[in-house]
Amino acid sequence: EAGVTQFPSHSVIEKGQTVTLRCDPISGHDNLYWYRRVMGKEIKFLLHFVKESKQDESGMPNNRFLAERTGGTYSTLKVQPAELEDSGVYFCASSQSGTVSYEQYFGPGTRLTVT
Amino acid sequence: KQEVTQIPAALSVPEGENLVLNCSFTDSAIYNLQWFRQDPGKGLTSLLLIQSSQREQTSGRLNASLDKSSGRSTLYIAASQPGDSATYLCAVRRRAGGSYIPTFGRGTSLIVHP
């Protein structure tokens, strides 16, 4: 069974540009989460999808970030326009539907560098 | 606001030692607590998940305990091996509306040398 995959693994862009990150969850997992780790800080929750619906987006930093999950399969996280403080590693995770005790499976992350 | 602290931030030990990694949290109203391992350039791998009603969980050489009232969890690694070298993260989950949001600590970076 394939795990959670993320693309690209690395992205270097200039301030003001747009970047789109993609996450493919494990097949059949209804729950999809985005997290971010800024250098030197802890991993922080961004948002949670249940199928195609946003269950919780309380962690999204501002309106420059837009997450979508069309059709309830893969998800994209767009940053437009990117700022220096957006640099970090963006992780995606997925889990089965049902109780929250189902463990989350994490992808390898996308390292975003904004210069 | 939940805060999670992990001590020590870094640890270097010789192979074979028994280790204790600590995780403390400020709000005891948690749903569960999870320990993860992260290898460089990789995602997080779940090690142990403890529900709020449980006191401990064990998997192989790993044992995690939870004392919710004091806001503490420990991860015990027995007979450490070089392959255990990684960053260990603790995350506590609370309920917020229809979601269960995890709060992570900054991790303990472990090096086990031969």
| A104 and chain B in contact, CB less than 8 A | yes
Residue B97 has pLDDT above 90, yes or no: no
Cβ distance of B99 and A106 shorter than 8 Å: no
pLDDT 10s digits, A15-64:
999 999 999 999 999 999 999 999 889 999 999 999 999 988 989 999 99
How crowded is the C-beta side of B58, counted as CA atoms within 13 Å? Answer: 3
How many residues would you count in chain B? Answer: 114
For B9-33, give one letter per residue: b (16+ CB within 10 A) or e: eebebeeeeebebebbbeeeebbbb
Confidence of residue B58 (pLDDT cuts 50, 70, 90): very high
Question: Is the CB of residue B99 less than 8 Å from the CB of residue A56?
Answer: yes
- The percent of residues above 90 in pLDDT, for chain A, comes to 81
List the single residue in B31, B41, B43 with the smallest CB-CB distance to A106: B43
Cβ distance of A43 and B93 shorter than 8 Å: no
The distance of B41 to chain A (nearest Cα, Å) reads 7
End-to-end alpha carbon distance in chain B: 41
Cβ distance of A100 and B100 shorter than 8 Å: yes
- CB pairs A-B closer than 8 Å: 55
pLDDT 10s digits, B35-48:
999 998 888 999 99
| A1 and chain B in contact, CB less than 8 A | no
Report cis status (omega within 30 of 0) of the bond before A61.
no
